[in-house]
Amino acid sequence: MAGLTLTSLGGAGTVTGSKHLLQWGDDRILIDCGLFQGQKNLRELNWKPLPIEASSIDAVVLTHAHLDHCGYLPRLIREGFTGPIISTEATRDVAELILKDSAWLQEKDAAFLNRIKKTKHSPALPLYDSRDAQRAIDAFITYPFDQPFQTSNGATVRFRRAGHILGAAAVDIQWGNRQVVFSGDLGKYDDPVMFDPEPVREADYVVIESTYGDRLHNISDASGTLAKVIEETTRRGGTVLIPSFAVGRAQTLLYYLWNLRRTGRLPDVPIYLDSPMAINASGLLNAHPHDHRLDPRTSQAVGKVATYTRHPEDSKRISRSNEPKIVISASGMATGGRILHHLKAFGPDRRHTILLVGFQAAGTRGRALLEGAQDIKIHGDWIPINAEVANLPGLSAHADAAGLMKWLSGFRQTPEKVFIVHGEAQAAETLRSRIDRNLSWEATVPQQNQVCKL
């Protein structure tokens, strides 16, 4: 019988497009099924066929429901996948929000390109549509954390808490005589909202993310730093504009703002959560009370700290308003969504602050802002950036290099090999070197579509 192999169809050498294929003979399990984001050459990969037939995949197992881990699912179904999509219950609920929103944006973008006749293809088509998204949602089956279950092709799978966002899991797969553990995206330890990543004690092979594999978060007083940025900006009559991932980051931000207001450290200015998806995701905290640290009373209080703006007209009024305020809006890397309209409104004015609070992938507007861009292109126009740009990585939902090493140290025995994925080249290589130096484990950074025998 053929042995087990691992092939990263995405998420190798980049932080986006996570798709890791386990294959035993003719049986196949895909761990995560994400969209490529950021640089154009990566985004174009979403339109290229996978190197395997979608119909040949028996099941997809999701670590969590961020777009770079689940956003390709509707396309996979359009291409012929008919198996189950397996996740935790909260991941399924978050994925419903993410996939419906992604399909709507795909349809909207295609319609816009056709309307202005700026498309290389006539007509421009969405990568997938709302029907594809609904078919993906209908294909989900869920299992609790720490309850082993079997797939149809004989693998035993267990979800273990990974922190990061609601429902996020490390995936422990035993197949044949091999045990492979996928970290998914690991959250920070001692996060005020999410539980710590749960240790995994045994594995023959480990597949670990490396988003922040080359840096450490300064989290000594993230709350205090946030308060300082807000105070300085509002004192000069400005708006604090925070591009935020709608799921995970937005809810953590609301917690910090609630805590600052509760303790009297927040200026008396309005707070707006201007993202329908973030609003819906915030409601999921109450729907899944056992998946986070907040007690019901605190969870409800956190949800009330901001004014929710669902309707486009309300969002436009925020952009037109000259009053000092705090605006949390998606997307987190400024690749689309309402944040773009706010950047056009507030970016040119020195009174305002653009506060970056999460990872910014190469090729995104967020990365350009982080690197000091004088102007950024939005809706075909170059927008000058005179606003202050501040960075607060301590609010990231990802473990830093020390956190990744802490999670790896939970294994009682040395794995045969560690595969380092979901990181840009420098981050992945730095983590590989750290694993070699500190643990003396064999670690490698696989290339996309490289077949690795286990």
Which CATH number is 150's domain given? 3.60.15.10
Q: What angle do CA 332, 333, 335 make, to 5 degrees?
A: 110
Residues 129 and 144 in one domain: yes
Residues 175 and 256 in one domain: no
Q: Which segment of 99-113, 232-246, 346-360, 367-381 scores lowest on mean pLDDT?
A: 99-113
Per-residue pLDDT, averaged over 101-125, amounts to: 80
Question: Is residue 119 very low, low, confident or very high in pLDDT (cuts 50, 70, 90)?
Answer: low
Question: Is residue 346 very low, low, confident or very high in pLDDT (cuts 50, 70, 90)?
Answer: very high
The two tokens of residue 437 are 């130096």
Residues 187 and 281 in one domain: no
Percentage with pLDDT > 90 across the chain: 78
Q: Give dist(CA 367, CA 195) in Å, integer.
A: 28
Per-residue pLDDT, averaged over 287-313, amounts to: 92
Residue 207 near residue 6, CB atoms below 8 Å:
yes
Domain that holds residue 175: 4-215+397-453
Residues 334 and 448 in one domain: no
Which CATH number characterizes residue 229's domain? 3.40.50.10890
Q: Which segment of 47-51, 131-135, 222-226 scores lowest on mean pLDDT?
A: 222-226
Residue 394: pLDDT over 80 = no
Q: Is 125 exposed, middle or buried (0-12, 13-18, 19+ CB in 10 A)?
A: middle
Q: How many domains does the chain have?
A: 2
Residues 118 and 266 in one domain: no
Per-residue pLDDT, averaged over 71-89, amounts to: 97
Residues 379 and 407 in one domain: no
Q: What is the pLDDT of residue 219?
A: 62
Whole-model pTM over 0.95: no
Residue 375: pLDDT over 60 = yes
Domain boundary among the residues 395, 420, 444 is at 395
Average pLDDT, the chain: 93
Domain boundary among the residues 351, 375, 395 is at 395
Residues 339 and 200 in one domain: no
pLDDT, tens digit, for every residue of 36-62? 988 888 999 999 999 999 999 999 999
Residue 225: pLDDT over 80 = yes
Per-residue pLDDT, averaged over 232-236, amounts to: 96
Q: What is the pLDDT of residue 1?
A: 44
Residues 250 and 175 in one domain: no
pLDDT, tens digit, for every residue of 173-183? 999 899 999 99
Q: Which long-range contacts (CB under 8 A, 24 or more apart) does 432-439 make?
A: 434/213, 434/401, 434/405, 435/405, 435/408, 438/405, 439/405, 439/408, 439/409, 439/414
Q: Give dist(CA 51, CA 74) in Å, integer.
A: 17
Radius of gyration of the chain (CA): 21
Residues 45 and 69 in one domain: yes
Residues 82 and 206 in one domain: yes
Residues 403 and 374 in one domain: no
pLDDT, tens digit, for every residue of 403-440? 999 999 999 999 999 999 999 999 999 999 999 999 99
Q: Where are the alpha helices (DSSP H) in 321-363?
A: 339-346
Domain boundary among the residues 379, 395, 411 is at 395
Residues 203 and 117 in one domain: yes
Residue 220: pLDDT over 80 = no
Phi, psi of 309 (to 5 degrees): -120, 105
Percentage with pLDDT > 70 across the chain: 98
